[in-house]
Amino acid sequence: MIESVVQVRNLVKSFDDLHVLRGVDLDLFRGENLVVLGKSGSGKSVLIKIMVGLLTQDEGSVKVLGQEVKNLNSKELNELRLKIGFSFQASALYDSMTVRENLEFPLVRNVKGLSKQEKDKMVEEVLDSVGLLQTINQMPSQLSGGQRKRIGIARTLILQPEIMLYDEPTAGLDPITCMDINNLINQVNEKYKTTSIIITHDLTCAKETGDRVAVLLDGAFGASGKFEDVFENAEDYRIKSFYDYNFIKQ
């Protein structure tokens, strides 16, 4: 039986009068790439932020690698976070640091006793794996949107996480760069043997990267399964319109 690394049950989250998640259930199995689709504001990012303890749910249970996230103290939460890589929508690179310093930041604070050579080697290796070794001494402001995304992913990979959470990895990028990012997500999954959740509203990204897709509708998952099963024979008009809109030119 395949191990479930993330288990979400009856998750409820509201912001004042805005009910974002209304009873979400989810299982993420080891080694798979799960794509969570949904309209803007449907609570996709909220869902993964609860998984890393950036937000706390109102009701329900979120277990990551067997641990109930809301019950962890800050030390336990930090230990769990080391096993999770979170790639932010806007990359969230530290503006005042070079690419090298950005990558070293989580490394020097969480891996003790590394020599300078070992640090350099790890940084260079992970930068090479995203194809941006040449940017090592540049500032984030000197990078393009796609490069920033790649460096953001590299920064999360440096601690070799078991689970990768991608928040809108292709948002705001041109189609060719989107394709590069989709390939990178697949390469990361293969090379680092990660289990991933990819939050997106880009169906091409979902098709390219997802082993399984789940569609968030009105605060709960409306459909889940293989891409073709969910979309190509969709009967729910909300899922159908989502698909039609994304592939309107075909």
Does position 54 interact with another protein (CB under 8 A)? The reply is yes
Does position 106 interact with another protein (CB under 8 A)? The reply is yes
Element of type H or E holding 74: helix 74-81
Taking the complex as a whole, the smallest distance from the CB of residue 76 to another protein amounts, in Å, to 11
164 contacts 181 by C-beta, under 8 angstroms:
no
Taking the complex as a whole, the smallest distance from the CB of residue 63 to another protein amounts, in Å, to 18
From candidates 20, 52, 163, 216, binder to another protein by CB under 8 A: 52
The 77-96 contact track toward another protein, x by CB under 8 A, reads -xx-xx-x-x-xxx-xxxxx
Q: Which is nearer to another protein, 89 or 186 (CB)?
A: 89
Taking the complex as a whole, the smallest distance from the CB of residue 96 to another protein amounts, in Å, to 8
Q: Which of 20, 68, 11 is nearest to 41 (CA)?
A: 20
Tokens 């191990």 belong to which residue? Answer: 3
Taking the complex as a whole, the smallest distance from the CB of residue 54 to another protein amounts, in Å, to 6
What residues between 114 and 143 interact with another protein by CB under 8 A?
Answer: none
Q: Strands, E, within 30-162: which ranges?
A: 33-38, 59-64, 67-68, 84-87
Taking the complex as a whole, the smallest distance from the CB of residue 193 to another protein amounts, in Å, to 20
3-state helix/strand/coil string of 163-213 = EEEEECCCCCCCHHHHHHHHHHHHHHHHHHCCEEEEEECCHHHHHHHCCEE
Q: How far is CA 159 from CA 58, 99, 109, 249, in A?
A: 30, 16, 11, 41
Does position 230 interact with another protein (CB under 8 A)? The reply is no
Q: How far is CA 25 from CA 34, 70, 191, 223, in A?
A: 14, 16, 29, 11
Does position 192 interact with another protein (CB under 8 A)? The reply is no
Reading the block at residue 128, the tokens are 């090479």
Taking the complex as a whole, the smallest distance from the CB of residue 87 to another protein amounts, in Å, to 9
Please count the residues of this chain forming the interface with another protein, following the rule CB under 8 A. 24
From candidates 22, 25, 72, 105, binder to another protein by CB under 8 A: 105
What residues between 210 and 229 interact with another protein by CB under 8 A?
Answer: none
The gap between the terminal CA atoms of the chain, to the nearest Å, is 39
What residues between 147 and 176 interact with another protein by CB under 8 A?
Answer: 155-156, 159
Does position 67 interact with another protein (CB under 8 A)? The reply is no
Q: Which is nearer to another protein, 106 or 145 (CB)?
A: 106
Residues that bind another protein (CB under 8 A): 49, 52, 54, 78-79, 81-82, 84, 86, 88-90, 92-96, 105-106, 109-110, 155-156, 159
